[in-house]
Copies of this chain bind each other. A is one copy, B any other.
Amino acid sequence: MKIAIAQLNYHIGNFEGNLKAMQEAVETARHQGADLILFGELSVCGYPPRDFLEFDDFIRKCQASIDALRAMSHDIAIVAGAPTRNPVPEGKDLFNSAYFLYGGEVLGIQHKALLPTYDIFDEYRYFEPATVFHTIPFKGKKIALSICEDIWNVGNENPLYTICPLDEMMDEKPDLILNLSASPFDYEHAAARISVVRANVERYGAPLFYANHVGAQTDIIFDGGSIVMSPDGQVFDEMPYFENCVRTYDLDLVLRGGVTQEQPKEKIKLIHDALLVGIRDYFHKLGFQRAILGLSGGIDSAVTAVLAAKALGAENVRVLLLPSQYSTSHSVDDARDLAESMGIQYDIVAIKPMFEAFETALAPMFKDLQFNVTEENIQARVRGILLMAMSNKFGNILLNTTNKSEMSVGYGTLYGDLCGGLAVLADVYKTEVYQLANYLNETTPDKNGQLSGVIPQNSIVKPPSAELRPGQKDSDSLPPYDILDELLLQYVERRQGPRELIARGFDEALVNRVLRMVNVNEFKREQAPPVLRVSSKGFGMGRRLPIVGKYLS
């Protein structure tokens, strides 16, 4: 038996596009001689469809796609994901299901039992868990279907669920396990995925074929990395990251095992590749081509600009240099050097005239009150208006350049540098932005095709500054980034509280100060752009906190 895995870039709600991509994959698998093709979870509608699932019309369209796939399954089994209606009035109205289509018929439907409802996941919002489990006989083999989380309760010291669904099928002695996944990227996830697949193969003694999605759905990025694992626990194949791919495997060879074929897993390269996909899919899935951003001469906007140019093409990126009266001439030079090196169109607009117009207009109310953060914010917001005006006039999406360290502690101006359609770096800590800058300099050709180091060294080595008052430095307001970032990692990703952080050796006053900064700035993150998620805990749907809460604040 030959089994194909299709890891595709779906588009939520784009039924026509998804069906077309799946039909092409079926053709490819046929050419490769496959008896069966395995797609990802909820493949006909894309993942996560969120509250679109509450519309009957949406469910009908999902069923129509399944019907279309069924109609082309005469000579190849097609295993695809779709929501199905729960016929019983009690319980949620839908199941998250895997269809096994063959010979123009539905040979079986297996619902998902474990419904992830944590971090970015909301599945119990929509779906009733499966309670019935059966293998599906196909060409003399018994096939166990599972959907994503169904295999994740195995090999876990603190399992989230009270059952392991595949346990319920073991009486029927399945010959192989298929898993339809939509398992989002983070820079540690590919390794975790292999461990979980291995724990299942070891527990059940059967080979496992695991199909993931690729591509980004706004903030959530799927990396592919679909897996075939032999009963010996070796990775028979791990499909490429971030690429559409259809590959067919001979089950006999998979059963024999003895082969290991894994993708390299280097953190900064993975983040880099994920961000490129995140930018590209945000634009293209919305039907846009061109980006605009503000280039300050600092590291964050430099990295964002280079990523945008790589994702969209330098000809589709435009930047504004928006010096304030407190900007150094070095900053403008560094920004210009970068734009010229990459071949990015740039314009320079000094913000002082608009700032002064606001000062004049506000003078009757402000009278002789001191310059303070108000005036810094006005300057940041003047930049926001200029960039949004370019976005509106030319149909470019504004990219936000905030990093995760700033986003965590609220070091940024709402409606100013927090503007944008997409926050590219807001799940990347400042210390990681530097690593990304060095990686970009090592790997990114300039417009002449030379590895000349497109990001000026000065942007990398100079002390970070918002340049909104004379001599301002980030270090005036924030702890050193190496300490801050480690503290934020422990608090935001690892959910360590004050007691645990102090026990880890962080200074108590610093812990209290930083946690307070994070918590009182929830109102800013509430209104921030969507953040490309590359860590296990990004800002956005994956992290839900009250605004008026009074806790560690």
Contacts and interface: CB of A to CB of B under 8 A. Distances in A.
A548 interface: yes
A548 B282 contact: yes
Given A285-B550, A377-B392, A384-B415, 9 more contacts: A14-B550, A48-B546, A50-B544, A117-B122, A117-B124, A122-B122, A347-B364, A353-B360, A362-B390
Interface string A58-100: 1000000000000000000000000000000111110000000
Closest 5 CB pairs of A and B: A13-B551, A57-B497, A374-B392, A14-B550, A285-B548
A267 to B, nearest CB: 24
14 contacts: A12-B551, A13-B546, A51-B543, A51-B544, A52-B545, A90-B161, A117-B124, A124-B124, A217-B548, A353-B361, A354-B354, A354-B358, A358-B386, A362-B386
Interface in A527-553: 527-530, 541, 543-553
Interface string A174-214: 00000000000000000000000000000000000000000
Interface string A16-59: 01000000000000000000000000000010111110111110
B361 A386 contact: yes
A414 B398 CA distance: 12
A495 interface: yes
B392 A373 contact: yes
Contact of A548 (B51, B122, B218, B526): B218
A516 interface: no
A159 B89 CA distance: 6
Contacts of A378: 385, 389
Total identical chains = 2
Interface string A351-391: 10110111011101110010011100110011011101110
Contacts of A12: 546, 548-551
Contacts of A551: 12-14, 52, 58
Contact of A497 (B11, B50, B55, B160): B55
A305 to B, nearest CB: 17
A339 to B, nearest CB: 15
A349 interface: yes
A492 to B, nearest CB: 10
Interface in A283-316: 285-286
Interface residues of A, number: 98
Nearest to A377: B392
A157 interface: yes
A488 interface: no
Nearest to A45: B551
A254 B382 CA distance: 64
Interface in A417-450: 419, 421
A500 interface: yes
Contacts of A216: 548
Contact of A374 (B393, B419, B498): B393
A64 B316 CA distance: 57
A13 B125 CA distance: 25
A377 B372 contact: no
A139 interface: no
Contacts of A477: none
A223 interface: no
A281 interface: yes
A118 interface: yes
Contact of A369 (B122, B393, B523): B393
A43 B497 CA distance: 22
Contacts of A499: 57
A329 interface: no
A381 B372 contact: no
Contacts of A392: 372-374, 377
A35 B12 CA distance: 56
Contact of A353 (B349, B357, B385, B553): B357
Given A386-B362, A388-B415, A549-B13, A158 B93 contact: yes
Given A50-B546, A495-B54, A92 B160 contact: yes
Nearest to A47: B546
A128 B553 CA distance: 29
Interface string A512-532: 000000000001001111100
A514 to B, nearest CB: 15
Contact of A361 (B125, B349, B523): B349
A162 B88 CA distance: 9
Contacts of A93: 158
A523 B530 CA distance: 9
A524 to B, nearest CB: 10
Contacts of A50: 544-546, 549
Contacts of A381: 381, 384-385, 388, 415
Nearest to A550: B14
Given A354-B357, A364-B347, A381-B385, A13 B550 contact: yes
Contacts of A115: 124
A435 to B, nearest CB: 28
B55 A495 contact: yes
Given A12-B548, A500-B56, A523 B421 contact: yes
